[in-house]
Structure 1
Amino acid sequence: MDKVRLQLFCHTLPGTTHDYQVDWQADRYHVGGKMFAMMGGDSQRKPIITLKCEPTRAEELRETYQGIIPGHYMNKTHWNSIYFDSNLSNDLLENLILHSYNLVFQKLTKKVQNQIISK
C-alpha cells in the first residue's frame, strides 16, 4: 500500500480538507467538517488507515482480508482500520476511501453538499 498515493487520492475528492492531529500523530481527512479517513498508527505505532464503512460491508471485509480490523480507537461497528503492510491493492483501498467519503458526504445537510458540489 502506497501511503503517498492514498493521501493524494483523498485530496482529489471534492471538498476534502486535511489536518494533522498532534496528540494522535495522525493525518485526518474531512468533508464538510466530518472525518472520513485517518492515517496514523495503532497502539504499537504500526501504520494504519482508518475508514468509515457500512456495518455489513465492514464485517465482510474483516472476514475476507487479514489486514483489516475493527476501527482502532473508533466505533468498531462503523469503522475499519487497515494495516499499511497488508497486501491489499491500491485500487481496493481507493475504493474503500471513496466508500468512506460517500458515507460521510451523504450525511451532510443538502446545503453543505451543494456548497461542496458547486465549488
Structure 2
Amino acid sequence: MKPIVEYCLSLKCAEKDYPFGPEPLVMKVGGKMFALVADNVVSLKCDPVVAENLREQHAAVKPGYHLNKKHWNSVTVDGSLPLGEVFDMIRHSYELVFKGLPKAERNRIEALLRQP
C-alpha cells in the first residue's frame, strides 16, 4: 500500500490522519476525507454514475465498506487493477472532495501552493 499512500500524499495539501486509532489511515484535504486505507483496500469517494460503472467493470471495486455506498467505492489492491487506474480513482476522489470544500478553504490551499 506504500505506493497508494505516497500517491495520496503527492496531491496538493493532502495529509495523513488516524481519527479512528492506529487503523485505518485516513487521507484528507482541507480537513475532509478523500481516501481511507486499510490492509489491501482503499476506499474512495466517487461520482455515483462513475461508481456504478467501475463496479460493473472491475471485480476489485465494491460499494464502500461502512461508507455511503452511493458515493464511495472500496477498491481491493491485489494487482487485478493496474496501479495507474487506482491512481486515477484516487485523483477523482481528491478532486470531488477538493471541489466540495468551502471557497475560502480552497483559496487558502491554492495560496499555499503559490508560496515560494
TM-score of the pair, normalised by structure 1: 0.89
Looking at structure 2, the residues matched to 86 and 58 of structure 1 have their Cα atoms a distance apart, in angstroms, of: 19
One-letter code aligned to 2:95: N
Correspondence list, 1:1-119, <5 A: 3-20=1-18, 21-22=20-21, 25-41=23-39, 47-119=40-112
Looking at structure 2, the residues matched to 115 and 13 of structure 1 have their Cα atoms a distance apart, in angstroms, of: 15
The CA deviation at 1:86 is 4.6
Looking at structure 1, the residues matched to 44 and 77 of structure 2 have their Cα atoms a distance apart, in angstroms, of: 13
Once the two structures are overlaid, the 10-residue window that deviates more, 108-117 or 82-91, is: 82-91
Looking at structure 2, the residues matched to 34 and 52 of structure 1 have their Cα atoms a distance apart, in angstroms, of: 11
Match of 1:118, SS state, is helix
The CA deviation at 1:7 is 0.5
The CA deviation at 1:118 is 1.3
Does the 8 Å contact 1:67/1:86 carry over to 2? no
Alpha-carbon RMSD across the aligned residues, in angstroms, is: 1.2
- State how many pairs are aligned: 111
Q: Is there any run of 5+ residues in structure 2 with no aligned partner, and where? A: none
Match of 2:43, SS state, is strand
Looking at structure 2, the residues matched to 117 and 11 of structure 1 have their Cα atoms a distance apart, in angstroms, of: 16
Match of 2:80, SS state, is coil
Instruction: Give the % identical residues.
Output: 37
Moved over 3 A (4+): none
Q: Is there any run of 5+ residues in structure 1 with no aligned partner, and where? A: 42-46
